[in-house]
């Protein structure tokens, strides 16, 4: 026990040293640090090593080769830094080491996650009776929600999916946006909806489904909408599209991986009508700034999600709202605990203030870049700033130079077939000074042609 305690204390010291070094770190690791990772590529040892030595190697070689995505100057992929309360809760939950599948396995996790689920629904303004499953990612949670949708749609035609599967089943029509996120397409592929069979709704100049060109809907249609288009941050027109879907008795699923959090901000009107959908997915580890991995599968019809995900057995039965019956996983960590801690520490006002600050920072950034001669390709209604320089070559050169600088990191994208880059503001650590530093760097690089 003493050795175990010493090892954990050593891990804490190393973690705190890493934490203290975040402000001065390169945002993307240096080539030398990446090259040093080759030392991990060794044969499996015949005999075990001293755990303290294992930890030392992990820290000394691994830590320098990490991205500083938990700092204030990482603007890629809508990644948030973990809030202090959520980080501390994660450490405590690791000490608990619970298999948080049900009340029998962990009364604490079961009850805390139930409260977290209620708070999530209140924060997002979604129906109070909805089921909330805490899964690993929006990808996994989309898979859970779309599984529930498929099962419910087939049941309308008297088809017992659980017993009879898909062979010979009635056809389910799937309508997606032309700008549908790749993870939604992935979930649909896994569920057997081939990409050639998807009905693709054309989009407008902002990446939103054009209501005038929405394919016909019926009671065997699964309509996939999105809150926060990955490049523009735009929202499908829920107040117009969802009533049409409900009139046809179609199932509406909303991919709200990061954009759904706008419902907790002063700009909630951007997602007006979204509460009328049947299911939603949302990440905690993006805009709520909780640890990876933590996301939510939310379903208006709680029974639909619970029956689709049920994993009860004679030796392991649980209530319908046990997390093992609302997610893909049977064995799972208590990932809802840091989500509870984040919401408890922020409160409704703090959550709104964090999101509003990011919206303001994105707006300022867009203004600075326009003044410097960049093309800002989107309306910047959310936290995404989509940018091009004067040519494809200059756009790529500026992006590469910014990444190589170590000051910031953001990634590439394509918009309307041409290279661009996407700046995502989502970390609670991102200060106005960090935004200023990013803007100043991009202004300098524009003036020098990316050199």
What residue ranges in 202-354 does DSSP mark as E strands?
A: 221-226, 251-255, 279-283, 295-299
d(CA 45, CA 102): 37
CATH of domain 88-343: 3.40.640.10
d(CA 273, CA 121): 15
What's this model's pTM, rounded to 2 decimal places? Answer: 0.96
Pseudo-torsion of CA 419, 425, 429, 433, nearest 10°?
80
d(CA 147, CA 49): 44
Q: Residue 97: in which H helix or E strand, if any?
A: none
CB neighbour burial string for 90-117, b if at least 16 within 10 angstroms, e if fewer: beebeeeebbbbbbebbeebbebbbebb
Q: Decide if 120 contacts 339 (C-beta within 8 A).
A: yes
Tens digit of pLDDT at every position of the chain (451 positions): 479 999 999 999 999 999 999 999 999 999 999 999 999 999 999 999 999 999 999 999 999 999 999 999 999 999 999 999 999 999 999 999 999 999 999 999 999 999 999 999 999 999 999 999 999 999 999 999 999 999 999 999 999 999 999 999 999 999 999 999 999 999 999 999 999 999 999 999 999 999 999 999 999 999 999 999 999 999 999 999 999 999 999 999 999 999 999 999 999 999 999 999 999 999 999 999 999 999 999 999 999 999 999 988 878 788 889 999 999 999 999 999 999 999 999 999 999 999 999 999 999 999 999 999 999 999 999 999 999 999 999 999 999 999 999 999 999 999 999 999 999 999 999 999 999 999 999 999 999 987 7
Domain ranges for the chain, please list them: 2-68, 88-343
pLDDT of 317: 85
d(CA 169, CA 167): 6
Measured N-to-C along each axis, helices 182-190 and 138-155 cross at an angle, to the nearest 10 degrees, of: 50
């Amino acid at each position: 026990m003493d050795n175990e305690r010493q090892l954990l204390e050593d891990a804490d010291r190393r973690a705190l040293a890493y934490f203290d070094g975040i402000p001065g770190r390169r945002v993307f690791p240096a080539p030398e640090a990446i090259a040093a990772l080759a030392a991990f590529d060794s044969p499996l040892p015949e005999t075990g090593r001293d755990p303290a030595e294992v930890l030392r190697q992990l820290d000394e070689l691994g830590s320098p080769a990490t991205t500083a995505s938990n700092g204030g100057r990482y603007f890629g992929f809508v990644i948030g830094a973990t809030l202090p309360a959520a980080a501390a809760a994660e450490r405590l939950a690791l000490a608990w080491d619970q298999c948080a599948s049900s009340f029998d396995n962990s009364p604490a996790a079961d009850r805390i996650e139930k409260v977290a689920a209620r708070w999530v629904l209140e924060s997002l303004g979604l129906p109070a009776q909805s089921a909330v499953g805490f899964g690993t990612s929006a990808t996994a949670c989309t898979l859970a929600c779309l599984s529930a949708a498929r099962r419910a749609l087939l049941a309308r035609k008297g088809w017992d999916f659980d017993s009879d599967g898909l062979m010979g089943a009635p056809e389910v029509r799937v309508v997606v946006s032309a700008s549908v996120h790749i993870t939604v397409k992935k979930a649909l592929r896994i569920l057997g909806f081939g990409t050639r069979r998807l009905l693709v709704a054309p989009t407008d100049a902002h990446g939103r489904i054009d209501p005038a060109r929405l394919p016909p809907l019926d009671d065997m249609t699964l309509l996939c909408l999105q809150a926060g288009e990955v490049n523009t941050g735009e929202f499908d027109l829920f107040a117009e599209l969802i009533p049409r879907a409900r009139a046809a008795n179609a199932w509406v699923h909303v991919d709200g991986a990061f954009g759904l959090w706008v419902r907790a901000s002063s700009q909630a009107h951007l997602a007006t009508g979204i509460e009328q959908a049947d299911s939603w997915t949302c990440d905690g580890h993006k805009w709520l700034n909780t640890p990876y991995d933590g996301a939510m599968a939310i379903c208006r019809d709680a029974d639909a999600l619970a029956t689709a995900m049920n994993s009860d057995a004679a030796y392991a039965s649980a209530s319908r709202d046990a997390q093992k019956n609302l997610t893909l996983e049977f064995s799972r960590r208590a990932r809802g605990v840091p989500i509870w801690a984040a919401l408890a520490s922020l409160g409704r006002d703090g959550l709104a203030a964090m999101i509003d600050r990011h919206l303001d920072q994105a707006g300022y950034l867009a203004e600075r870049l326009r003044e410097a001669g960049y093309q800002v390709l989107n309306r910047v209604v959310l936290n995404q700033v989509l940018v091009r320089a004067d040519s494809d070559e200059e756009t790529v050169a500026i992006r590469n130079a910014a990444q190589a600088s170590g000051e910031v990191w953001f990634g590439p994208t394509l918009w309307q077939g041409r290279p661009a880059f996407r700046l995502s503001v989502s970390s609670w650590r991102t200060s106005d000074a960090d935004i200023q530093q990013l803007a100043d760097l991009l202004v300098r690089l524009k003036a020098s042609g990316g050199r």
